[in-house]
Amino acid sequence: GQQLNQSPQSMFIQEGEDVSMNCTSSSIFNTWLWYKQEPGEGPVLLIALYKAGELTSNGRLTAQFGITRKDSFLNISASIPSDVGIYFCAGQHSGAGSYQLTFGKGTKLSVIP
């Protein structure tokens, strides 16, 4: 199956620091999604990207759809303790079978107060 490489696997940062994580794929996607999962919960959609080169923000979160359509980046500015969780990227194609998401393995974020 398709592979999404998400890095880093985990991060320990001080409160107030900025965070960057990324996802790369062996194939092209038409949609990139970023989810956050908190302990004991299901993933929640943070940002959706639909166009190569697109840069989208959601509060302190900013994500970009790479020009090659094979990568995406998520940045969190001025981290706070409630940012703790696992962040997943997911790629999605368009057309037939486009409902299927391919997930990365996640980036576990820990914020030290």
Partner 1 sequence: NAGVTQTPKFRVLKTGQSMTLLCAQDMNHEYMYWYRQDPGMGLRLIHYSVGEGTTAKGEVPDGYNVSRLKKQNFLLGLESAAPSQTSVYFCASSKAGGGRETQYFGPGTRLLVL
Applying CB under 8 A, which residues contact partner 1?
1, 4, 6, 9, 30-31, 40-45, 48, 50, 88, 90, 92-94, 98-106
Q: Choose between 31 and 79: whose C-beta lies nearer to partner 1.
A: 31
Contacts of 74 (CB under 8 A, 6+ apart): 20, 21, 22, 34, 46, 47, 61, 62, 63, 87, 89
CB of 97 to partner 1, least distance (A): 8
CB of 16 to partner 1, least distance (A): 28
Task: State the nearest-atom distance from the C-beta of 41 to partner 1, in Å.
Answer: 6
SS3 content of the chain, % helix, strand, coil (to 5): 5, 55, 45
Where does residue 78 rank: exposed (0-12), middle (13-18), buried (19+ CB within 10 A)?
exposed
Minimum distance from residue 48 beta carbon to partner 1 (Å)? 7
Q: Please identify, using beta-carbon distances, which residue of 69 and 79 lies nearer to partner 1.
A: 69
Residue closer to partner 1 by CB (options 44, 78) is: 44
